[in-house]
């Protein structure tokens, strides 16, 4: 990519989009198209088409999505399927019609079957039933990557299809109704320390295993794949190792300074039993993450503490 070429980034206000925008600007890219939700309704096919025709991006990073953890997915399966389908169809269609040269569509490892072999290879896609608690989101992502591949095959629009594991880090939110597991645990344990709580009760059994990548590594990986010759293949994006939720909770509790008891509400779902990527393709393309999970947890705790301090300052000032 040239630094003066128009580059469209959807979801630029989100954790991944904001990190990508920061990174590209720091590298001297000067023509980034980052409309906010109020400026461009991605669920409107006409609005998206008009925007792309007007601005003629050379490249596009399609990161916008309705996202959330297990609770949010269970509460709104219609929203997670319907809205995400609209987003991906509108964006890819507009890019193809306007002649965008290369498109990155950000997927998720939730696309893989619930019971697929571990670590998950890209070839396991569509070999079995999905995890019910996030089926809507996963179906929309699968439809998006297949549509992108179809546009590449039929119309020549190059597509890059990274499938990241759980992304966390700078810019994540800590709303327990919407956030993912790592940021939720950071909030729970930091708040427990501040409230001098004797115990924290978490969902599930703690046995489910998850893989994590810091958002800065995710962005580096996306850009690495964008410049590589991936030929429209699905590429897992992750470190290739995982931890149980119980182990993760222990790591976060220790770094947050929580010394109480961790309890498990086993009436609540665990979600997919294990999600660990086989990152062989990623390594062959020359990329590996840099930020360790331990360091990433420390950074996230610090960022949450800073958020609390800022909110406290704002409230006092008001």
Does the annotation flag 23 for ligand binding? Answer: no
Alpha-carbon torsion (37, 39, 44, 47), positive or negative = negative
DSSP H or E stretch at residue 33: strand 32-33
Q: Is 171 annotated as a binding residue?
A: no
CA distances from 97 to 5, 142, 145, 149, 157 (A): 19, 21, 17, 15, 10
Q: Which of 29, 112, 137, 151 is catalytic?
A: 137
In the residue annotation, 137 being an active-site residue is answered as yes
Which residues partner with 264 through β-bridges?
A: 202
Was 1 annotated as part of a binding site? no
Element (H, E) at 167: strand 166-168
Query: Is 201 annotated as belonging to a binding site?
Result: no
The two most distant CA atoms of the chain are separated, in Å, by: 60
Q: Compute the distance between CA of residue 268 and CA of residue 118 in angstroms, rounded to an integer.
A: 24
167 belongs to an annotated ligand binding site: yes
Say if CB 268 and CB 204 are below 8 A apart.
yes
Q: Report the alpha-carbon distance of residue 29 to residue 36 in Å, rounded.
A: 19
State yes or no: 11 annotated in a binding site: yes
CA distances from 149 to 41, 96, 158 (A): 24, 11, 8
108 annotated binding-site participant: yes
The reply, when asked if residue 107 is annotated as ligand binding, is yes
13 is annotated as contributing to ligand binding: yes
180 is in an annotated binding site: yes
Per the annotation, does 210 bind a ligand?
yes
Is 140 flagged in the annotation as binding? no
- Among positive and negative, which fits the CA dihedral 213, 218, 224, 229? positive
Tell whether residue 68 is among the known ligand binding residues: no
Buried b (16+ CB within 10 A) or exposed e, 87-111: bbbbbbbbbbebebebbbbbbbbbb
Known binding residue 165? Answer is yes
Is 14 among the annotated ligand-binding positions?
A: yes
Distance CA(67)–CA(71), nearest Å, equals: 11
Give the residue numbers of the binding site. Answer: 11-17, 106-109, 141, 164-167, 180, 188, 203, 210, 270
Give the residue numbers of the binding site for NADP(+). Answer: 11-17, 106-109, 141, 164-167, 180
Give the residue numbers of the binding site for substrate. Answer: 188, 203, 210, 270
Q: Kindly list the catalytic residues.
A: 137
């Amino acid at each position: 990519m040239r630094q003066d070429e128009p580059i469209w980034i959807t979801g630029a206000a989100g954790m991944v989009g904001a990190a990508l925008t920061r990174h590209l600007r720091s590298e001297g890219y000067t023509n980034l198209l980052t409309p906010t939700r109020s400026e461009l309704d991605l669920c409107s096919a006409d609005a998206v088409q008009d925007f792309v025709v007007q601005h003629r991006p050379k490249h596009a990073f399609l990161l916008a999505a309705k996202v959330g953890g297990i609770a949010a997915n269970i509460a709104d399966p219609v929203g997670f399927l319907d809205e995400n389908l609209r987003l991906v169809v509108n964006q890819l269609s507009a890019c193809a019609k306007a002649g965008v040269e290369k498109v990155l569509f950000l997927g998720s490892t939730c696309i893989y079957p619930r019971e697929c072999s571990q670590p998950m290879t890209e070839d396991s896609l569509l070999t079995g039933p999905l995890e019910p608690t996030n089926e809507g989101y996963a179906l929309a992502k699968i439809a998006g990557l297949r549509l992108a591949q179809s546009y590449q095959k039929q119309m020549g629009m190059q597509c890059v299809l990274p499938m990241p594991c759980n992304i966390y880090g700078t810019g994540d939110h800590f709303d327990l109704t919407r956030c993912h597991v790592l940021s939720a645990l950071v909030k729970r344990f930091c708040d427990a320390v501040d409230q001098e709580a004797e115990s924290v009760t978490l969902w599930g059994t703690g046995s489910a295993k998850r893989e994590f990548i810091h958002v800065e590594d995710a962005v580096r990986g996306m850009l690495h794949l964008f410049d590589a010759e991936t030929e429209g293949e699905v590429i897992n994006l992750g470190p290739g190792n995982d931890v149980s939720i119980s182990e993760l909770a222990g790591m976060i509790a220790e770094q947050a300074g929580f010394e109480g008891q961790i309890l498990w509400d086993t009436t609540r779902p665990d979600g997919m039993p294990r999600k660990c990527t086989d990152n062989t393709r990623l390594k062959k393309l020359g990329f590996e993450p840099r930020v360790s999970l331990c360091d990433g947890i420390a950074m996230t705790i610090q960022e949450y503490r800073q958020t609390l301090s800022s909110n406290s300052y704002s409230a006092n000032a008001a």
